[in-house]
Structure 1
Amino acid sequence: MKAKLKFGFNLLLLVTILGVMYFFVRSSMMDILAEIKNTSAVVVFMVMALGTLYLWIEGRTVKEIAGNFQPDFSTKDGFFTVCYSGFYRIITFGAGTLISEVNFYRKSGLQLSQGVGVTTLHMVMYKFAILTYAIAGLIIQFSLFYDHAPNLIWVILAGIVMVFLIIAVLLALSVSINVQVLFVTISHKLFKRPTFRGIIDRCNTQIYSLRETVNSIIQDRTAFLRIYLWNLLKMLPWYVIPYVILVNNHPDIDFLLTFSFISFAVVLSGVIPTPAGIGSFEFVYMFLFGPLVGTVDAASSMLLYRFATFIWPFIIGFGYVMVQKRKDIQAELTELKNEKVKVE
């Protein structure tokens, strides 16, 4: 009976995934595919190569963190971790991104608490990297913004401050047991309803796991530096993509300006409350690049950028999930056959 339930659940999940895929292709992929068709093959190849390079470096970044708990965890595992969570980010509209990443670590041999800690630290170090580039971009382009769009400086600074506060709170909670106890005490006084208490308890578990992860990693003095540098390196392929797309029609476009703009777009979209950054990134990207290259070229470059950074991991993740589901269904069919033989 248990094997039948598992088989039915996996079959239902597979049908649901295929249904969401069909809906997604019909509603979102047509514009992107049309743009790819109208773009030079060389540009498409370069964009895809940069998107793949990001995923591989990101895999190495994940390995640097998860490898502290599972020595057999490889860069390849990290690569598929990113694609796996990228797949679930889209089909769950952002809600399942972190859960799917934790689940991948659990399947790779990490304990649940370790998986939560690795996922949280992974997010923190990513935010450190995008914060670094945004600050550098603001410094480099400060005179340009001051002369032409002084109000934009305050918007970017607000985004930087928000990201910094998120990092600061997570790190403070991760290294100090006293801060964590204070957080729980105040939260329990403010929120009496069981629903809110449950949310607080889950947050507390995640914070505890993060502290456990951080304490484990800081035993290696160079670990944080290595993870930080890998995070800086992984963003370079993504941040180069807009220039690669736009320079073909705008040969005079400034590389550092496009690099700074995309760093601002990533930071600002990360603090605007929409599911997985969907919608907020497009708005910020068009707001920054539209006046620079025109609305049509900005929209075209945004579609290609989204394909390399958002859709491409999803496609690889879809392939990975399909292979795993096929293995699960085959294993459950074998189990059903064995149960049938035992009954007879």
Structure 2
Amino acid sequence: MKAIIKKYVMNFVWIFLFAFVALYFSLKGEFHLIMDTIRNAKVNWIIVAFIFMVAYNLLEGYALSIFGKLYNKAYSFRQGVVNSFCATFFNGITPFQSGGQFAQVYVFNKQGIQPSYSASILLMNFIVYQSIVVLYTLVIVLFKYSYYSKNFSEFFSLALIGFAINFVVIVGLFIGAKSRTLQSFFVNVVLRIGAKVRIVKDYETTAMKVERHLEDFRNELKVLQKNKNILITVSIINVLKLTVLYIVPYFCAKALSLDIAQLHVSEFIGITAFIYMITSFIPIPGASGGSEGTFVIMFGFLLGGVGAKSSMIVWRFVTYYLMLILGALVFALDPQINRKE
């Protein structure tokens, strides 16, 4: 227990350290201009941004409650929302958002869904979410490729790499789950080659894990195929969820009274989608440092230097720090999670 507490304390140290460094370089030389811009912010638009972030978690909770009812008819929307906020907190304080799913399994268990079923729920949720992320980003790339490649050439390339990795992962999982031949080729040929060149350390263990994960993926795909109404509903929820998340910088810019009259909301959505695509590979809790820097560089073209930096501070406060606090409060105060067995 002491080791776990120490680990989380160190994660918080890294979060604030990298956030401090990012803020230092963002505010350097323009501190007073940025502070004046933030000081005159319209609180009503910040509240709107906060409401949208709460809505994001409500939508995620709704999706979890739909999957939860497959294994526990009494599983409620409220329980799904609690689970979502807890995941937000633990994802935010662990590298690569790795702690969220472990916390969700714990919360599901407290809510009356045993770990084997909760693992199925999380895998189905991952399948739908990851598929929608790839499709959503693909639509943005197809319709806005020339615009983004021209104005954001360097970072657009990083976003395309991130998109390609996500695309390959989800397509590879689908094909591997559907094709036993491809699964056999990957396990018996690709992994063996990887072991020979010492990329794969333990061939037997890795092969067993790959086969187990593909089998789990295959089983949950069958569940989704049998419940097409659930699949369609959760897919729509995820489209709404991503749109709600990606539109928040627009409200942050409105709060700071920036000149965005000539800009379309879709431009904010597209750029924010690429920011999340890039920062998802930063191995620091909350992608601290990378998120701030990427936001400033990407939005600097639309909002100007001071505008982008000011918006970044408001955006980061609303989407990360406020949600971190809210998730921690939900986890600490929810009576069902904290009841004694």
Query: Out of 312, 317, 324, which is 1:307 matched to?
Result: 317
Alignment-derived partner of residue 282 in structure 1: 292
- Which residue number corresponds to residue 104 of structure 2? 101
Q: What is the one-letter code of the residue matched to 2:142?
A: I
**Offset from partner CA, 1:250-277 (integer Å, 9 cap, x none):** 232332211211122122323x352456
Bigger CA radius of gyration: 1
Q: State the alpha-carbon separation in 2 of the partners of residues 156 and 14 from structure 1.
A: 34
- In 2, Cα distance between the equivalents of 1:211 and 1:68? 17
Q: Which residue is 1:251 aligned to? A: 260
Write the deviation string for residues 138-188 of structure 1: whole angstroms up to 9, x where unpaired.
334334346545666554433322221111122223444554455444476
Determine whether 1:85 maps to 2:92.
no
User: What pairs with 1:144-293 in structure 2 (closer than 5 Å)?
Assistant: 144-145=147-148, 148=151, 154-186=157-189, 189=192, 190-191=194-195, 197-198=204-205, 200-247=207-254, 248-252=257-261, 253-270=263-280, 272-275=281-284, 278=287, 279-293=289-303
Distance in 1 (alpha carbons) for counterparts of 2:62 and 2:302: 35
Q: 1:162 to 1:18 in 2, by over 3 A?
A: closer
* RMSD over equivalenced CA pairs, Å: 3.7
Which AA in structure 2 matches 1:68?
L
Which position in structure 2 is the counterpart of 1:132? 135
Letter in 1 for 2:243: L
Pair 276,223 (structure 1): closer, same or farther in 2 beyond 3 Å: farther
Give percent identity, aligned residues only. 17
2:251 counterpart SS class: helix
- Give 1:134's aligned amino acid: T
- Note the C-alpha offset of 1:311: 2.6
CA displacement at 1:200 relative to structure 2: 4.8
Cα 1:16–1:150 shift into 2, 3 Å: closer
Q: What does 1:294-333 align with in structure 2 at a 5 Å threshold?
A: 294-323=304-333, 331=340
Tell me by how many angstroms 1:283 deviates: 3.5
CA displacement, residues 192-225 of structure 1 (integer Å, 9 cap, x when unaligned):
9886644554454333323222212211223322
- Evaluate the alpha carbon distance shift between residue 218 and residue 276 of structure 1 in structure 2; reply closer, same or farther with a 3 A threshold: farther
Alignment partners' CA distance in 1, 2:53 and 2:318: 5
Query: Are the equivalent residues in 1 in contact too, given 2:292–2:312 (CA < 8 A)?
Result: yes
Q: Which has the higher contact order (CA 8 A, sep 6+)?
A: 2
The letter for the 2-side match of 1:261 is I
3-state SS of 2:307 partner: helix
Q: Which runs of 5+ in 2 are unaligned?
A: 24-34
**Structure 2 partner of 1:120:** 123
Amino acid at match of 2:306: V
- What is the DSSP-based 3-state SS (H/G/I as helix, E as strand, rest coil) of the residue aligned with 1:222? helix
Unaligned runs of at least 5 residues, structure 1:
1-8, 333-344
Distance (Å, rounded) in 2 between the aligned partners of 1:281 and 1:55: 20
- Tell whether the 8 Å contact from 1:117 to 1:211 is kept in structure 2 after alignment: no
Indicate conservation of the 8 Å contact 2:11/2:285, yes or no. Answer: no
Q: Deviations over 1:79-121 (max 9, x none)?
A: 2222212222233333322322333333333343432332233
Q: Whole-Å Cα distance in 2 between the matches of residues 155 and 188 of structure 1? A: 27
Instruction: Supply the AA of the counterpart residue of 2:103.
Output: S
Residue number in structure 2 paired with 1:70? 72
State the aligned residue count. 319
1:341 corresponding residue in structure 2: none
Question: 2:120 is matched by which residue type in structure 1?
Answer: G
Partner secondary structure for residue 250 of structure 1: coil
- The equivalent residue for 2:48 is 46
Specify whether residues 246 and 327 from structure 1 end up closer, same or farther in structure 2 by C-alpha distance, changes over 3 A only. Answer: closer
Deviation string, structure 1 residues 261-307 (Cα, Å, up to 9, x no partner): 1122122323x352456044334322211122123321222232233
Change (3 A) 1:324 1:299: same
Does the 8 Å CA contact 2:12/2:93 hold for their aligned counterparts? no
Provide the C-alpha distance between the structure 2 equivalents of 1:225 and 1:303, rounded to a whole number of angstroms: 36
